[in-house]
Amino acid sequence: MRATAVVLASVIGAALASPSPAQIVLNPLQLSTPLSSCPANGPISCHNSSRIPDLCCFESPGGLLLQTQFWDTHPSTGPEDSWTIHGLWPDNCDTTFNENCDPSRAYTDIASLLTDNGATDTLNFMETYWVDMHGENEQFWEHEWSKHGTCMSTLNPQCLPSGSPDGFEAVLFFQTVVSLFQSLPTYTWLANEGITPSHDRTYTLSELLSALKRASGGIEPALDCKSGALNAVSWYFNVKGSIADGTFVPINAPKHGDCHSSSRIKYLPKTRH
Ligand SMILES: *[C@@H]1O[C@H](CO)[C@@H](O)[C@H](O)[C@H]1NC(C)=O
């Protein structure tokens, strides 16, 4: 417990002290008017010592957020020089998940929901970077929203300003995920450490993790593999305030992904489309 608190404090301290490109504490949405009136000194998710009544300002129970990304090469998805978005998952602070929390808000036609609410830029970005392996982007977005987004307490419709359009909390979800992803350039961070896709080279798990930790400014993610090759990364956060306009505080992954620590790992190139 003490060790966790120290790590967290040093992460926050480092991020505040050095506004470097690697800084990944963020306020994802540049909103002209604040959405929520959450207190600036409220608790960080997963770190309350007493009951917090206002779940619009305290993400619970899913206060451990994973921004998950894919590196798909078979078939290849997305640009050759970028990982792609999988989603943003609320974990119950203990590596268990709640899922599909509100079937009544399992929205369809996410693309129209975004354009109807002025989030065309977000949609355009998603069409390149949040893509399904089989081209079923719309279904993929619907799935990520209904399975994970509907479990976020701070995105409950009652947390939004009165008069918000139906489904607006899902618009905020997609904008937040896109902004978080943009602050987590896994490809560039690896490339900055000399690690680029290759058919020949291989790496140990600890080489990959320490490269990402250095390049990100001190945060260690979790890495998943498929057939001995890098396939996914999870960047972990706690959040202060609302998912929609709170502050995401990066933390080290609380557990390893499934890449083996004892075998060499490939980072394969994507094939051209
Ligand atoms: C933290 O807050 C949540 C939400 O109100 C509550 O369910 C949980 O029991 C609290 N944790 C502690 C240790 O009091």
Q: Summarize pLDDT for 198-228 with one digit per residue, the tens.
A: 999 999 999 999 999 999 989 999 999 999 9
CA-to-CA separations, 177 to 33, 44, 64, 116, 235, in angstroms, rounded: 19, 19, 14, 19, 12
Q: Which atom of ligand 1 is nearest to the CA of 58?
A: 4
Q: Which atom of ligand 1 is nearest to the CA of 53?
A: 5
235-255: average pLDDT: 92
Catalytic option among 142, 148, 169, 220: 148
In tens, the pLDDT along 147-201 reads 999 999 999 999 998 889 999 999 999 999 999 999 999 999 999 999 999 999 9
Q: Is there a contact between 93 and 46 (Cβ–Cβ < 8 Å)?
A: yes
Listed residue (248, 228, 229) closest to 239, CA to CA: 248
Using most ligand atoms within 8 A of CB, pick from 44, 52, 156 the residue to mutate for ligand 1.
52
In tens, the pLDDT along 104-144 reads 999 999 999 999 999 999 999 999 999 999 999 999 999 99
Q: Find the range with the poorest average confidence among 12-16, 94-98, 111-115, 125-129.
A: 12-16
Using most ligand atoms within 8 A of CB, pick from 44, 51, 153 the residue to mutate for ligand 1.
51
Q: Compute the residue count for the chain.
A: 273
Using most ligand atoms within 8 A of CB, pick from 1, 44, 48, 94 the residue to mutate for ligand 1.
48
Q: How far apart are CA 123 and CA 120, in angstroms?
A: 5
Residue of the nearest CA to atom 14 in ligand 1?
50
pLDDT at 273 over 60: no
142 as an active site residue: the answer is no
Residues 40, 100, 232: CA angle, nearest 5 degrees:
80
Q: Which residue has the tokens 């961070």?
A: 189
Listed residue (98, 73, 99, 69) closest to 85, CA to CA: 69
Listed residue (107, 108, 64, 110) closest to 89, CA to CA: 64
Residue of the nearest CA to atom 13 in ligand 1?
49
Catalytic option among 47, 74, 80, 86: 86
At residue 167, the pLDDT reads 96
143 as an active site residue: the answer is no
Burial class (CB within 10 angstroms; exposed 0-12, middle 13-18, buried 19+) of 163: exposed
Residue of the nearest CA to atom 9 in ligand 1?
51
Q: Which CATH superfamily is domain 9-266 in?
A: Ribonuclease T2-like (3.90.730.10)
Listed residue (160, 150, 151) closest to 38, CA to CA: 160
* Global pTM value: 0.89
CA of 52 to the centre of ligand 1 (A): 6
At residue 34, the pLDDT reads 53
At residue 35, the pLDDT reads 63
Q: Categorize the per-residue pLDDT at 1 as very low, low, confident or very high, splitting at 50, 70 and 90.
A: very low
Q: Which residue has the tokens 């540049």?
A: 30
273 as an active site residue: the answer is no
DSSP state of 247: E
CA of 45 to the centre of ligand 1 (A): 10
Q: Which residue has the tokens 């808000």?
A: 105
Ligand 1: residues with CB < 6 A are 48-52, 60
